[in-house]
């Protein structure tokens, strides 16, 4: 198979698997840490309205979802890409970062969470996925 085509297919597949990991953690987080009383997180409007009711424990699973989704994608691309594993890992980190930045701009989440999430969940996890996947 052409190396460029293989890299493209691996990168797209890694992004999809990382997004699935992200959404699985986000969806299961509500089962392990129930939302605050009176909050409806089934819509973006409900999520925005319930944000002031959230405690730090409610931000654990979103952070884990963002970090592990990015990590999984970077790990897969580092493991299976033919070349340019670091660049592809950072590309996926950038893709997930843009999604996180969009959420920060749409939701009135606390500044401490925005800083931790944007600072630690994307590029550091992409680099870690690269390091562990490229062995």
Q: Mean pLDDT, 10 residues at a time, over the chain (135 residues)?
A: 94 98 91 84 82 90 96 98 96 97 92 96 98 90
Q: How many domains does the chain have?
A: 1
Burial class (CB in 10 A: 0-12, 13-18, 19+), 1: exposed
| All residues at 6 or more sequence positions from 114 whose CB lies less than 8 Å from its CB, including other chains | 104
pLDDT number for residue 13: 98
How far apart are the C-alpha atoms of 107 and 95, rounded to whole Å? 19
Strands (E), the chain: none
pLDDT number for residue 48: 84
pLDDT number for residue 46: 83
Look up the pTM and report it.
0.92
pLDDT number for residue 110: 93
pLDDT number for residue 76: 98
Give CA angle at 93 (92, 96), nearest 5°: 85
Owning domain of residue 45? 3-133
């Amino acid at each position: 198979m052409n190396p460029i085509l293989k890299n493209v297919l691996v990168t797209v597949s890694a992004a999809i698997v990382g997004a699935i990991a992200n959404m699985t953690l986000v969806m299961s987080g509500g089962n392990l840490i129930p939302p605050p009383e009176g909050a409806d997180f089934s819509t973006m409007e409900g999520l925005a309205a319930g944000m002031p009711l959230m405690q730090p424990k409610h931000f654990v699973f979103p952070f884990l979802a963002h970090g592990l989704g990015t990590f999984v994608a970077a790990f897969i691309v580092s493991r299976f890409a033919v070349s340019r594993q670091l660049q592809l890992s950072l590309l996926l980190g950038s893709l997930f970062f843009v999604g996180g930045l969009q959420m920060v701009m749409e939701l009135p989440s606390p500044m401490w969470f925005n800083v931790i999430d944007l600072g630690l969940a994307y590029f550091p996890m992409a680099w870690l996925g690269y390091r562990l996947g490229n062995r």
